[in-house]
């Protein structure tokens, strides 16, 4: 289930180059750099005629997939979102961010060591950003931590950053001119995860992909199925 309480984002990192939100908005002539609340802002707590929540229980809710949950402009709205997530303790919420350094800016008073039903995924595309952002992630009170290496645009060594991490997700870049993903980097990451007993998932191939020194251009519609075909996911 998706919950996009606001939309819009600013490019802030190398991994944003072919951001799917910016690309989609460009086609629709929407200015992605304007951050606006959506009509779905209160979606998790909306009720039907029988006074039941419209969002069914026991689901994973993907939060803010048309923005970055920690973007500055949303500081004014974030606390209310945390309150809704607390009210819906029967749902599991997941948000991703490239702005983990902003995490402590707005937090509810009762956050403590984190809410049981919130997972935070930090996106890192290369070694430099992994070292910077994951050092911060490591220090934060969050109950469930994921690392998202997507788009992976170079080899990444996560060995120093996997303590307390539940899952690493890897994916390539989706764009005709996207940067190359070498399958060796993916396998290497998987080994790092297995060594530390961290679950691993290869979610998406890259449009421009190298395997065993052979180059492949993969159509967008096949990026997910090709990754699945590799069959290298491992869950503990």
Nearer to ligand SF4, 53 or 65 (CB): 65
> For ligand SF4, which is the closer residue by CB, 9 or 227?
9
**Given candidates 3, 5, 7, 21, which one binds ligand SF4 under the rule CB under 6 A?**
21
Tokens of 138: 């490591």
Is position 11 an interface residue for ligand SF4 (rule: CB under 6 A)?
yes
Query: Which region among 12-20, 35-43, 153-161, 211-219 touches ligand SF4 (by CB under 6 A)?
Result: 12-20
Residue from 7, 43, 68, 189 touching ligand SF4 (CB under 6 A): that is 68
Give the E-state strand segments of the chain in sequence order.
Answer: 2-3, 6-7, 36-37, 60-63, 92-97, 118-123, 144-149, 165-171, 181-182, 199-204, 208-211, 214-217
Give CA–CA dist 82/60, Å, rounded: 15
Instruction: Count CA atoms closer than 13 A to 22's CA, side-chain side.
Output: 13
The pair of three-digit structure tokens given for residue 178, joined into one six-digit string: 């996207």
Tell me which of 3, 5, 7, 9 binds ligand SF4, using CB under 6 A. Answer: 9
Interaction of residue 19 with ligand SF4, rule CB under 6 A: yes
The interface region with ligand SF4, picked from 9-17, 74-82, 85-93, 103-111 by CB under 6 A, is 9-17
For position 169 contacting ligand SF4 by CB under 6 A, the verdict is no
Minimum gap (Å) between residue 68 Cβ and ligand SF4: 4
> Can you tell me the distance from the alpha carbon of 143 to that of 166, in angstroms, rounded to the nearest whole number?
10
Other residues' Cβ atoms within 10 Å of the Cβ of residue 40: 15
The torsion angles phi and psi of 169, rounded to 5 degrees, stand at -110, 135
Q: What are the distances in angstroms from CA 195 to CA 65, 103, 230?
A: 31, 29, 20
SS3 95: strand
Residue 24 or 112: the one with the smaller Cβ distance to ligand SF4 is: 24
Q: Are 44 and 83 in contact (CB under 8 A)?
A: no
Binding flag, residue 70, ligand SF4 (CB under 6 A): no
Instruction: Rule CB under 6 A: say whether 30 interacts with ligand SF4.
Output: no
Q: How far is the CB of 9 from ligand SF4 (least distance, A)?
A: 3
**167: which strand partners?**
146, 199
**Rounded to the nearest whole angstrom, what is the least distance from the CB of residue 18 to ligand SF4 in the complex?**
8
Choice from 1, 2, 12, 194 touching ligand SF4 (CB under 6 A): 12
Half-sphere exposure of 2 (CA within 13 A, CB side): 9
Considering only CA atoms, which of 152, 143, 132 is closest in space to residue 201? 152
Which span (11-19, 130-138, 152-160, 227-235) binds ligand SF4, by CB under 6 A? Answer: 11-19
Residue of 7, 43, 78, 98 interacting with ligand SF4 (CB under 6 A): 98
Which residues sit at the interface with ligand SF4, rule CB under 6 A? 9, 11-12, 15-16, 19, 21, 68, 98
């Amino acid at each position: 289930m998706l919950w996009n309480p606001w939309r819009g984002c600013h490019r802030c990192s190398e991994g944003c180059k072919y951001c799917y939100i910016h690309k989609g908005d460009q086609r629709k002539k929407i200015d992605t750099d304007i951050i606006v609340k959506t009509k779905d802002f209160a979606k998790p707590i909306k009720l039907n005629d029988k006074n039941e929540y419209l969002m069914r229980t026991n689901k994973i809710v993907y939060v803010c997939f048309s923005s970055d949950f920690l973007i500055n402009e949303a500081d004014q709205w974030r606390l209310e979102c945390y309150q809704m997530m607390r009210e819906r303790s029967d749902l599991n919420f997941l948000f991703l961010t490239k702005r983990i350094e902003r995490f402590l800016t707005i937090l509810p008073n009762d956050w403590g060591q984190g809410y049981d039903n919130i997972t935070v995924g930090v996106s890192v595309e290369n070694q430099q950003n992994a070292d910077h952002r994951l050092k911060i992630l490591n220090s934060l009170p969050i109950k469930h931590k994921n690392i998202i290496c997507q788009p992976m645009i170079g080899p990444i060594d996560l060995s120093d950053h996997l303590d307390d991490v539940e899952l690493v997700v890897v994916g390539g870049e989706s764009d005709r001119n996207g940067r190359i993903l070498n399958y060796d980097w993916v396998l290497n990451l998987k080994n790092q995860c297995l060594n530390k007993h961290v679950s691993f998932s290869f979610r998406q191939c890259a449009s421009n992909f190298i395997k065993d020194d052979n180059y492949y251009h993969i159509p967008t519609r096949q990026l997910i199925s090709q990754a699945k075909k590799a069959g290298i996911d491992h869950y503990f």
